[in-house]
Each structure stands twice: as C-alpha cells, then as structure tokens.
Amino acid sequence: MASNWFGYQLRTFRKRRLRLSSWGLLISVLAAAWMAPPSFAQTCTFLGSSPNLVRMDSCGVLHYFTYRNRDDSVSANKNTVPDFSYAGYRQGAERIPLVTEKVRVPLSSGDATTAIQNAIDTVGNLAPDSQGFRGAVVLEKGIYRVDGTLVIDQSGVVLRGQGQHLAGTILVTGATTKRTVIRVATPNSPLVLDESRIARIRTDFAGVGTNSLFVDDGTGFNVGDVIAIRKTPNQDWIYALGMDLLESMTTDPDVRNWEPEEYRTLHLRKIVYRSGGHFLTDIPLVDSFYSRYGGGEVLKASTSGRIQNSGVEDLRIISSYKADDDEDHGWNAVHLYGVENAWVRRVTAQNFGYSAVNVGHSSFVTVEDTASLNPVSKIQGSRRYSFNVSGNGVGILFQRVYSDKGRHNFVTGARVVGPHVWVDSVAFDAKSDDGPHHRWATGLLFDNILTKKLNVQNRTTSGTGHGWSGAQVLFWRSFATDSYALQAAPASMNLAIGMGGTRVAGKDSPTIGQGLAYGADAGQPRSLYFQQLENRAGTTAVKKVTTALQRKGRARTIISLLREPALPWADPTCANGIASSDGSACCSLSCGQCGGSSCSSRDGGAESCCIGRIQSDAKSCLQQGAPCNIEKVPAGGFQTAIGDPICARGIYDSSGACCALSCGSCGGSGCSGRPGGAAACCTGAIGNAANSCLINEAPCLVPAGAR
C-alpha cells in the first residue's frame, strides 16, 4: 500500500502540478531537485516577475500558491486553484471520434421527424462496438422539416449532418409551442446515491484544489468507486453568508431565505487511492468544507444510467417564429440530459428562445465550434441562456463557441459543482451578464472569454432569492467590454487573473467587493485550461482538442472578426492557409505549398498538404480552417441570415412563394395593386426574383424541404 501511495504522489507531482505555500515552496524545490534531472534548477526558471496564485516556469510547468478564503484564518495555506483540465469529452484528453455511418436519411417533403427518429431508433438497436459506439445517422445536405423532437436515448448513437453552414444540413422547426429539437437524454435516473453507507469528513477543513480527504471510517469504499462528496451545510453557514436576510430585504412574497438542506451540493468523483479513512480522488474539490459550517460526507454513487458516447454534429437548426418577441416556437436547439462522454460540435442554432445547447445532470461533455444566433423571445428572465449548465455533473467544456444577443451566454444554474469550463469564446451584443447566475455554483473557469459583462456576485433578492451566485470561480485572461464584478462570500473566494475591463461593485453592494484580482504577467500561460491539460496529459492531448490558430492564441480574435456565418473559426477564403492552384483546396501553412509531389512528407502530412486527401476528407472551409475544401460562398454571403424558411411571418402560397403580410393574400388577380406591389404580392414576380426564405424574409421562396 505504501508503494502505491508513493507512486501516486510522484506521478501527481511530476505530471500535474506543484502546490506552493511558504513552506511548500522549499519542500517542492528540494523534491524537484531530487526527482527531476540534475539540470532542472538551471533550465526551468519562473517566468514573469509578479507573485501570483499560478505561475509557470520556462519548462511549461505550472506552480500553485495558496490563498485563504474571505474573512477566515482556518483556510490559510490550504486552498489552491484547482485543476480544471478534466472538463470535456473523456476528461478533456481525447479527440472526439468520427463514428461510422450506419443509416442515411434521404431528403423528403413534409415533416421528417418520424423518418429521422426511425433511423435513430434503428441505430440504437444495433450492438455497440468495442469502443461503445453503435453508429451514426447521417443526413444529406439540404433542408429537413422537423416539427417534433428527435430523441437519442441509447448510448453510442450520433446524429450527423454535412455542415452547419447554409449549404450544409439544415433542420427547420415550425413548432408553435416551446419545443426542443434534439434531445439526447437517458430514460433512466442520471444519478443514484447509496445512502446505506455514509462516511463523514473528519477534518476541520478541506480546501479547494485538494484531492485528499480524511473520513471517519473508510470501510466499504474501494479504489475505482464513484463517490459523491456531499456538502452538509448548517444554519450557521446561512447566517455567515447573510442568506437568512433575503426576505427582510424585499416585499416580494416569492423571495425566500436560503435553507441549509437545499444546498447539499455534490462533488462527483472517483477514488484512486484508499488507505483506511484516507481517500485520494481523481479530480480535486472545487468548494471548501468547514466542520463549523456543517462539514461534509462521502457516499457511493452510480451514474450507470447515463447515456455514453453519443453526439450531435454538423447541423444548422433553425426555429421559425412569428414575431420578434414570439415565445411559442423552438426553445432549445439541443438538450443533453443524463449523458456522459458526449459532445455537440459544429452546430449552429438560430432563433431559439432559451438555448443553443442546454446541458443538465451530465458529465465530461464537450461543446465546440457551435453558435447561437438571433435568439427570439422576450428579453427577460428565464430566456436566452445560450450555453447553459445545470444539475449534478462534472466536467462540461465549452470551447470556441459564439453567441449573439443572449441574456446569459455562458452561464450556470443553481447549485452546480464543477469543474466546468468556457474557453476561447465570444458573446456579442449581450443583453445581460455572463458567469454563475444564482445560488452557489462552484468550480467554474471562464478562460479567454470576450463578453459585455462577466460577474460573480451576491444577487440578493433577484429572482426568488438568487443570493450568492457562485464561489471558487476564476476569470482567466478574459475581457468584459462593459464591466466585471468580482465579489466573494464569507468563507469562500472568487478570483480574476489577467482580467480586462472595468471592475465595478456587485449588485446592491456599495464597495468593489472582496474577490482577489491579479494582473496579467508573463508567468501565466495564455490559457489556464490548456496548460493544465498539457501538464496532466501532455502536448499531444492538447493538439487533439485544439486548432492551430487556437494554439497560436488567435482564436478569440478570429471569432470577434468573423461573427457570422456562425463559423468564426472557419476560413472560407483560405486566408490563414495555402490555397491550391485551382482554388479547390486549402492546405495548412506548415506545408509550405499545397499539393504537388512529396506532399505527404511535408510538415502536417498528407491530411494537411495533399489535395486529394483533403478532398476525400470532405471538410469544408465554411466549417473549419485548413486543411479544408474551398467552396463558393452560399447565397446570402457572410452576414447573419435571419430568414423565414417556412413563411411563418408572411403569407404562404402552394407555389412556394411567401408574400408579405401587407398583401392580404398571396398571388391571384390584382396582386400588383396590393400594398407592396408585384414584388411583394405576386407569385410570379417572387419566383423570378428567386430570393430564398432561408436567408430572406417575405417576399421570398420557401425552400422545397421546408414546405
């Protein structure tokens, strides 16, 4: 047992992180000198000059310094910034796979919900392969009318289109009630707790960033067990936070004081080492546990009922609507519930009232290269949560995502426990703020985010008593064009490192707040998440999940400049690659030239440098950067294409014409004399103009697949 303990500590120290306090610094330096090659002290020196909570050395290793919670001495030298790199598909270290096609659904007229659902069910009934995948349902390029909800409720099933751009695969919903278009959801309970065996945490304090727990009795727990580390707050915790005063602050009868039993939050972890009542977990804690505030306990948990290895990719999903404040139409483009090791990638959601991707009670999910465009709803509470996390789970990663006009673009619900990460993402024209929204979300990283407002604060009586929105939240090298608030509750802390923008007081606060903010310094990497991933899993893992531009630190700039066609990471003109002489392929810059003899031997290999290979891989430059195939710009160009694909805001004629509402009727005798004239009211003129309703409002032609 002792040898296992030593081996684990050695691997942890060398591969993952160094945690440094004043004494820990001396011990760590001595340990490093003993464990590492003799040249370590000479070749690996601290970068930057400013003291900070995270500091990188010249070898790329992160070192962590401790911090204390607000108004508290017990936590001194016991908290460190946690390792967020476990967020994402397969804990962030694996490339999302291309799952084998099993069924293809042809284009058809009318509602395609049943045809696509039958294909999903067919694949769901196949036996999974050795990797747990059953297969992909593939849709053609073109338009599918989907007025119902597509449900994936079996593991190993992928729904794949052929591009999120306007020339790709488009799902159009004409739903007239709040509707989710794609739901990947378990039919079972996503989490089962075993209450028969509970071990109490026996230390006075367990800090943020630690993997080590001491319980009163470890009997019955074993290495490999999934556990829930449950916070058990008492009324003293409520008093300390001031959450017993909410009702006295307002006359609103819906506002309630916090109750301790409602904040029994869960850290879902796995035991990787046990010796008696000493546990080591795979993922560190992201909240503090104080015995004086009720402490915590450990119990076994099961997530076996969750769906695994499923995904949604390469689609554009459009909700039709009747007015700019219409609320009876598509509400969620994609909803993930009770899933694990799953993904959404290269999906554009257009006109939805609530979210592009809504993730609940799920773990180890990646959402990437995905956009939320032109949400349609009233601009008020419970609407426009573009990329949202809720429920009991761990390890949700959003990277290279874009949102416009959202209220809360990058956001969590109540009592969410991370680590969860938003990285290299942009919100444009935000209608409210981003960050944890309400009721004690913990362990969140906002890494290289560009938005209007980024806040973690005491929201007091907002809603029904939102109170402290989050704790142990980190803003890393992000920028708020309007302002950011960084408050911290007593006995907790929130952090900002390299944060840009104007810091302001939080809601209902006369002071700036108590969170810790540090300036940018050469000692911090561009992205904390990716540097932590590199330290834990190696540079190969980082290359598997990033793009070349992202690794060069240009992701946010590209997203900002190319807000639409909802593909800000794309390179439609091969501006950041090398175009082939015939203009058909875009090779990576590392190739030196595109195509030609010996292309496979150049830096990047055949997949990056050989025209034939690039063409066979069939990746569009409208979807991604090099290597990719250069396509003609689709009709409508590169501006936001709002459109009205089923003529919900016009008058439809069976010929496919969509006349303006002002016409009163569409086509027929005397159409040219109606308000708007022939161009707006006559089916022949509309047909001759050939303006697609996919990217235009009336007058326009409804695409065949949307009729």
- Distance, in Å, from the CA atom of 534 to the CA atom of 273, rounded to the nearest integer, reads 23
Angstrom distances, CA of residue 116 to CA of 104, 159, 329, 350: 9, 9, 20, 20
CATH code for residues 82-181+304-432: 2.160.20.10
Please write the tens of the pLDDT for every residue from 596-630.
999 999 998 999 999 999 988 777 776 677 898 88
Distance from chain centroid for Cα 687: 42
- DSSP letter, residue 463: T
* 0.75 surpassed by pTM: yes
Q: Where are the domains of the chain?
A: 82-181+304-432, 192-302, 566-629, 651-706
Element (H, E) at 297: strand 296-302
pLDDT at 555: 65
Per-10-residue mean pLDDT, the chain, length 707? 37 42 39 40 78 90 95 94 98 96 96 98 98 98 96 98 89 96 97 97 98 97 98 98 96 97 98 98 98 98 97 96 96 98 95 98 96 94 97 96 94 98 93 97 96 96 96 96 95 96 84 84 92 97 89 62 46 83 90 94 93 83 79 44 88 96 96 96 95 90 88
- The Cα–Cα gap between 365 and 342 comes to 5
pLDDT digits (tens, 9 = 90+) for 543-602: 999 987 788 876 654 454 334 444 545 676 787 889 999 888 999 999 999 999 999 999
Cα gap 141→120, rounded to integer Å: 18
Of 472, 544, 486, 363, the residue nearest 78 (C-alpha): 472
DSSP per position, 403-426: EES-SEEEEE-TT-EEEEEEEEEE
CB 295 within 8 A of CB 327: no
Residue type, 285: L
Q: Residue 622: what pLDDT?
A: 63
- 254: buried, middle or exposed (CB in 10 Å: 19+, 13-18, 0-12)? exposed
CB-CB contact of 164 with 570 (8 Å): no
Residue 113 is given by DSSP the state: H
Strand 585-587 relative to strand 628-629: parallel, antiparallel, unpaired? Answer: antiparallel
Q: How many residues does the chain have?
A: 707
Q: Which two tokens stand for residue 628?
A: 């990719």
* Contacts with 386 (C-beta within 8 Å, 6 or more apart), sequence order: 355, 356, 357, 372, 375, 401, 403, 406, 408, 409, 410, 411, 427
Q: What percent of the chain stands above pLDDT 70?
A: 89
DSSP assignment of 323-382 = STT--SSEEEEEEEESEEEEEEEEEEEES-SSEEEEEES-EEEEEES-EEE---S-SSTT
pLDDT tens track for 88-98: 999 999 999 99
* 3-class SS of residue 247: helix
Tally the C-alpha atoms within 13 A of residue 176's C-alpha that lie toward its C-beta.
Answer: 4
> What distance in Å separates the CA atoms of residue 104 and residue 443, rounded to the nearest whole number?
41
Give the span between the Cα atoms of 675 and 194, in whole angstroms: 69
Supply the pLDDT for residue 595.
Answer: 95
Pair 206, 174: CB distance under 8 Å? no
End-to-end CA distance of the chain, in Å?
A: 68
Give residue 98's pLDDT: 96
Q: Is the distance from CB of 146 to CB of 117 less than 8 angstroms? A: no
Amino acid at 402: Y
DSSP, residue by residue, 235-246: HHHHHHHTTTST
Residue 54 CB contacts under 8 Å (≥ 6 apart), including other chains: 62, 63, 64, 65, 81, 497, 523, 524, 528
Cα(660)–Cα(14) distance, integer angstroms: 67
What's residue 559's pLDDT? 52
Compute the Cα dihedral for 96, 101, 102, 107 and give only its sign.
positive
Give the whole-angstrom CA distance, residue 159 versus residue 152: 9
